[in-house]
């Protein structure tokens, strides 16, 4: 449904928003500051290890996608164990909630499986959060990789166990040279990765692709948390919403009209998340263009409204999100971001020595 928006002067908007927020105490839903678990590092990966392939969210509609995922993981040097319920289907979901949770729990409990790879996102991962065996995950820390709807797992697993998880390509996603290089550096080399956008000038006079834009200059250090904005906000007020105190928040999304992005950013402001963070990284918002109707806010307007008043280092355009080439972000790891340069880097190892 198309919506028309009245024009509002930005200065008046900021003033009214900040006054409005100041008139009410900020509610800190899902606060974990005293009960947050200690940081838990996953065991390192080696070529030849067995990894588990699961589908905790939506069903995979084309059978060949299972082949793509398995072959890609084998090409990376792994043996692949398929989840027992990987190919199940219940409506748009990859099986019942119990079946999808069972595959996740089984892979973490299996000593032969050294990492868990999610074949795709979609929707539905949040439904299984109460069914996850977090104690088993604590006892068997291992990498879990995926993005989009897998944000629900990143948030829940980290908030409940302290485990560092990995926001990056899904099993059936793009395994181009850039993503393979990211995987190599993160998992095999165990490097302290610096995340710098790949900029290709081509035959243009200036670089246009993968440009970053500084919203607020400077540097900041903190635990990096976040993921898909829609999924993250849907967890607000639950025990699975992370504690963002002194964190670096990163977000991305796809196919959302700016008014929806505005609504979700409003939630992060009203629940106290934005007032807690030390830095902000906005990845890619693919196909998030203003809809019809006079006066629609742009993404730039929305980020200016919510982020600039915070006075923290912030930038947009990081290679995070629904794009072919994407960073593998260690969720829960300590990083330093440089908003002026449009980069961030790991400060500490995410695998035990």
What amino acid positions are annotated as catalytic residues?
A: 148, 252, 322
Of the CA atoms within 13 Å of residue 109, those in its CB half-sphere come to: 12
The conformation of residue 40, written as its DSSP 8-state character, comes to B
Q: Rounded to whole angstroms, how far apart are CA atoms 343 and 233?
A: 25
Q: Rounded to whole angstroms, how far apart are CA atoms 60 and 88?
A: 9
Strand order in the sheet with 144-146: 79-82, 50-54, 113-118, 144-146, 165-167, 329-331
Q: Rounded to whole angstroms, how far apart are CA atoms 232 and 237?
A: 11
For residue 71, how many other CB atoms are within 10 A of its CB?
12
Residues contacting residue 291 through CB under 8 Å, at least 6 positions apart: 2, 3, 257, 258, 259
What's the full length of the chain, in residues?
353
How far are the Cα atoms of 254, 258, 291 from residue 287, in angstroms, in the given order? 6, 10, 11
Q: Is 282 helix (H, G, I), strand (E, B) or coil?
A: strand
Q: Are 169 and 330 in contact (CB under 8 A)?
A: no
Q: Which of 267, 225, 230 is nearest to 247 (CA)?
A: 225
Backbone angles phi, psi at 289, to 5 degrees: -95, 150
Q: Note every long-range contact of 129-133, with CB atoms under 8 Å and residues 24 or more positions apart, other chains counting.
A: 129/153, 129/156, 129/238, 129/240, 131/97, 131/98, 131/101, 131/105, 132/101, 132/104, 132/105, 132/156, 132/157, 132/160, 133/105, 133/108, 133/109
Residue 287 tokens, joined: 């196909």
């Amino acid at each position: 449904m198309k919506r028309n928006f009245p024009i509002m002067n930005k200065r008046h908007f900021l003033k009214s928003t900040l006054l409005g927020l100041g008139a009410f105490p900020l509610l800190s839903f899902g606060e974990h500051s005293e009960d947050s678990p200690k940081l838990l590092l996953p065991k390192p990966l080696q070529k030849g290890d067995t990894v588990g392939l699961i589908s905790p969210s939506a069903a995979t509609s084309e059978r060949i996608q299972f082949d793509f995922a398995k072959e890609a993981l084998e090409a990376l040097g792994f043996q692949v164990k398929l989840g027992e319920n990987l190919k199940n289907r219940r409506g748009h979901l990859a099986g019942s909630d119990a079946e999808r949770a069972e595959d996740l729990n089984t892979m973490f409990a299996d000593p032969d499986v050294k990492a868990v790879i999610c074949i795709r996102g979609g929707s539905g991962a949040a439904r299984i959060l109460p069914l996850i065996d977090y104690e088993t995950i604590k006892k068997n820390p291992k990498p879990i990789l995926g993005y989009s709807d897998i944000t629900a797992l990143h948030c829940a697993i980290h908030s409940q166990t302290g485990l560092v998880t990995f926001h990056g390509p899904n099993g059936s996603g793009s395994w181009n040279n850039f993503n393979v290089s990211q995987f190599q550096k993160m998992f095999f080399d165990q490097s302290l990765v610096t995340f710098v956008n790949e900029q290709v000038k081509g035959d243009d006079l200036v670089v246009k692709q993968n440009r970053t834009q500084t919203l607020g200059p400077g540097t900041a250090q903190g635990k990096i948390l976040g993921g898909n904005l829609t999924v993250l906000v849907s967890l607000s007020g639950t025990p699975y919403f992370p504690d963002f105190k002194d964190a670096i928040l990163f977000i991305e999304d796809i196919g959302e009209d700016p008014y929806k992005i505005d609504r979700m950013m409003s939630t992060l402001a009203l629940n106290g998340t934005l007032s807690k963070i030390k830095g902000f990284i906005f990845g890619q918002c693919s196909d998030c263009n203003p809809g019809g109707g006079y006066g629609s806010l742009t993404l730039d307007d929305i980020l200016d409204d919510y982020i600039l008043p915070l006075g923290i280092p912030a930038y947009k355009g990081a290679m995070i999100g629904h794009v072919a080439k994407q960073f593998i972000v260690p969720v829960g790891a300590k990083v330093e971001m440089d908003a002026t340069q449009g980069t961030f880097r790991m400060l500490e190892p995410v695998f035990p020595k």
